[in-house]
Structure formats: structure tokens, C-alpha cells
Structure 1
């Protein structure tokens, strides 16, 4: 017996990926519905060989549906997620709206799957920020071995993290570089993104950090360990898909780079590609379409007693969003609903 699944925001990048991944992973689906705003009503999306026409989110009745995977912004989520949850449909939300709610579990299945049992308080489960998700997958097995004290992370985040408008802006600006008469000033980003990097994602906070950087701090503490100190610098780069991170880790106990490499190789959701030669590492373009979080450049940090550096790359539309949501649905079905 399978599940009745609703995809909310099915016409967006993440919603379409959710449909793809549900099919790829042969999730036990009895019935699936694609929901969108009225302006996208009737738009066709694919679920394997099946074509779905989107239905109106505003008038949809979630009664009798098992799970709703939300891939819309916080404003729409604020309106429709409580309606779905009240109707008995468990919401798995990709927005930031519920991530910091103490009554809503924030889940990365490879890291804290056991926290999913807290979903019943509000019938809602939160999906973390894309940059946090891949980082905590890498940190968890190392933390279990040597206890992490502090993390310093710099991100190199693709434009798809800003949605379709971000992808379009990079594409249009790149073309305009070679056609000076067709200038494309920034509208989605604060500065030109083509052939540039922008050390600014989301709004600035009073302490000088951005909200994206704050999210990485707060979410790592909630998902992994509140005792870990995290400082982040988040940068938008001219890459279409795939987030990269340079991560410096300070441990309580010494952890040799060779042991760390072995630990990561055996850990769920991780692929280690780490050869000290030209091309012996993974770049964003190579991770697109893959489920794994890739780890490269593992090496000792000689400036502190118990430190390591590593390079972390993942498809942000997959592990950073759609894949993680589907993995949550799998755990929810297996551990809590138990129909499939």
C-alpha cells in the first residue's frame, strides 16, 4: 500500500526535482497531485512517464492525503501549510518558515533521522537551508568520532539557489558580455553575477552577517549539536547548479586526515573523491544530478592542534532541497506512517 502525495509548487525548479526524485527512488505512491498558484494552473509537469496537470493550491482540499512536499516561498507556506497539517496531511516544508520553530523537527536523514518523531506536534517537518544540508552530512560522522568545537565555512553557492530568476539572470548577463548593445543590469542579484562573485546572500543583519550566514549557524546547531560554534561567509558564484563549501573544522580530540578520509568513505550519503593530483577532486559541474555529497581536499590544518580542512560539493536542487525532502518522506513513511 502506498501514499497519497501532494507536491506544492510543482512548476518550480525544486518542485519538478521532487517529482523526478520520487519516481527515481520508486517511492510508494498510490496517487500524486501537482499543485501550483492560479497563474500556473494547467501547466503540465512530469512524474516518470505520467504527465500531470497542475491543480489550484488555493482551493485544494488536503483531507485524505498523506504527505505534502512544499516547494513554495514562506508567504504561501504560511497560508497553506497549516491548512494541510490541520487536514491530517503531514507537511514537509522546503521554505525557511518553520526551521527555527522548537515544535517542528529540522531533518537531514543522514544526521538526525530520529528527530522525525516530533512531527506530530504540528504535523510539519522542516527541510534545512541548501548550504546547511550538505555541510552537516559531512560533519556528522566526524563529530561522532572527535567532537567538533568550531567550524569556519566559506560557501560558493550557485545561482539556482535563487530560483529560476537567478538562473535566467546569469544566462542573460553572460550572453550580454559578448553583445555590449544588449546590456543586462542586475535585477535578481545586487551586482553583476556573470564573471563575478557576490559576497552577499539574503539580507544583512545588525552584526554585519547576512541571513544566509545566520541560517547556517542556527541550523547546524539545531540539527547537529548546539555546542558547535559556526562562522560562515556565503558567496554567490556564476555557476548554474551545485553548491561548494570550503570547511575548516576544529575538534576537541585529534583526528588524523587518513582516519577522517576512511570515516567519510563509510558514511551514508557521502562520496569521497580525494586524490592529490590534477583533477583529483570534485567540482560543481560534476555533481549535478547526483544524490551524493562529495568530499575532496581532506587535509590536516597545521595552524591548530586538532584541525582539518575539506572541500564539500553537492547538487543544491537535490540534496539541498528536493532529495532531502524525499528522504524525509521515506523516513516518515518507514518510521511513523508505515503504510508502504
Structure 2
């Protein structure tokens, strides 16, 4: 391989994990407002496999435009190796992490080098390594923008109402469905950081992990239905979402809020009758919020759990692991 090329995982056609190909491609050059990052680790997220299979889970009119071949990935942690002339605030040698160009699909982080918008990056917390830092951006920012601060005014394609996080404190009870996964385990910790009481819903295998993170109550959904066991909750964050999400409305008190990360089927009239609100949002790159999250990671107030790591060349195996589900924390690709 020449000094001008790098390894990158690319998608040439849509399908299962087998369509991920380990290619040799030119090293990108940073354009205006960008830095070149030598990638050390890459966070693996659901949009990576949505892109891989052609966004079949989204209505055609909401699918973002992209062309093939393309390099997937949005999350990275690495080291700055070049800086565009118009960029201030970063220097060669800085360790950085970030969520790149999201909600677009041009992050291209499944690679040895990435030309990254400086505005999407922040300094990596010194107290954690690249693997843990790479696991934080998308999942951590999703939890942050749903529960702590939205940080933008872009409307959701699935609703007219603007998403508004609910102030969390010791008087608030939050139920998190899918609490063991990437977004869920961050949401649990952020809610506890704010002082809230947290009910975690996951399969029984995750109980000790979630209690360790601070869950006050645990429900094994394979043994009981949360909507029959819990009432008078202030906030439901449903990380699983989808068609079954509506059942959690029964757990809310009047004035409560449900936040489905993957929007399901809700009836405005029914919500009004129950006296509850249902809103969601799409996570967006936000370096200021990521810097705040980074401070919590640095002090240990929040931690990134790693389910498993894979070499960049084994991205296919990482996607196969994701397809098996029941992930505890994050999947991360390491770049030698």
C-alpha cells in the first residue's frame, strides 16, 4: 500500500454484512473547515446497517441521498494529523472524538483516515482510551438530546411538535426500555446524574449490569410486561421504539411524556385523552454537548460499556454481532 492510500470498509451494493468490503482507497485531504484524523477506533451504530441495507426501514421520502460505493460510519476517536488553514482550536497531535456529519451519511469513519469537520469534533477525554471514546458520540448524544438538552431547532420528520426534554430531578421517575444497549445505558446514567429514579427494562441477562450503572428497579421483559407492572412514570424513553411502543403510554401519569427513539404508531387523540405527550427527535452532531459528555466521562460520572471490539477489517463480524441483538453497551472497531 502506498503512502497515499489507506484501508477502508466500503459498501458497493446493498445487502447483509457480506456486502462490507475491505478496500484500498486514497487518503482524503482536509478541505476548508476540516482536519485530517488518523482513526484509532470507530463506534458501530444502527445507521451503519441501515445504510448497508439501503435504508429499507425508512419511508422512501425520508431516505437521505447517497451514492455507492460509500464508506459507512459516523463515530470516531483518533489523532489529528493535518489541519486546514481556516481551522482554529485544533493542532496536529490532538486526540479527538466526534459524531461526523449526522444526520447525513457522509461520516466515512470505517477507515484509517477521515477528513472531519472540525465543528463536529471535540478533544477526547484524557481519562478514557480511544475504544471507549469511539463508543460515546452517537449513543451519548442521542441520550443527551432526548433527556438533557435538544440543542437544535430542526423538526422531526415524524411529528409537527418540537421535542422538549423534561427537567429531571429527584422527584422524577424515568422508565428506559432497552436500557442495556448503546443509547439505553447512557440514558440510564444521565438520568441518575440528574437525580432521577430509573426503572430499567431489558432481558434478565443484563440485570446486574444495569443495577451496577444505578438502576433503581429492573424489569425482565421476558418474565413480565412493564405496562402491567409500572404506573405513574414521568418519562418513558423507549430506545426500542417501533410498533409496540404505544403500550408504554399506560405506564405514564397524566402530564407524562414518552420519547420513542424509533418512532412508532401513536394516536394524537388518544394521547390527549390520556393527558400525555409523545415526541422524538433525530440526533445531530453537536461538539459542545459532546464536550460536556466528555467531562462526565473523564470524571467517571458516566462510563461507556463495551460489548465487544473487532478489527476494522472484521467490520462484517461486527455487523453480524449486531444482528444477533442483546448488545450490552457498544460495539467498536479498532484500527491498527
TM-score (norm 2): 0.31
Higher helix residue share: 1
